[in-house]
Amino acid sequence: MAKVEKVVAKAAQRVKATAATARKKGQALAKAAGKRAATQARDTIDRAGRQTAAMATKVADKVSGRAKRRKRAKVAAAVAGAAAVAAAAGVSLARRRKR
**Domain co-membership, 5 together with 40:** yes
Average the pLDDT over 9-23 and give the result.
82
pLDDT per residue as tens digits for the range 37-90 = 878 888 888 888 888 888 888 887 777 777 778 788 888 888 888 888 888 877
**Domain co-membership, 51 together with 78:** no
**Domain co-membership, 86 together with 54:** no
Q: Report d(CA 98, CA 38) in Å as an integer.
A: 66
**Domain co-membership, 32 together with 52:** yes
**Domain co-membership, 42 together with 4:** yes
**Domain co-membership, 70 together with 59:** no
**Domain co-membership, 69 together with 89:** yes
Q: Report d(CA 70, CA 66) in Å as an integer.
A: 6
Percent with pLDDT over 70 in the chain: 91
**Domain co-membership, 22 together with 50:** yes
Total domain count, the chain = 2
pLDDT at residue 96 is higher than 80? no
Q: Report d(CA 49, CA 54) in Å as an integer.
A: 9
**What pLDDT does residue 14 have?**
83
**Domain co-membership, 81 together with 59:** no
**Domain co-membership, 3 together with 32:** yes
**pTM for the predicted model, two decimal places:** 0.38
CA atoms within 13 A on the CB side of 7: 4
**Domain co-membership, 55 together with 69:** no
Domain extent at residue 1: 1-64
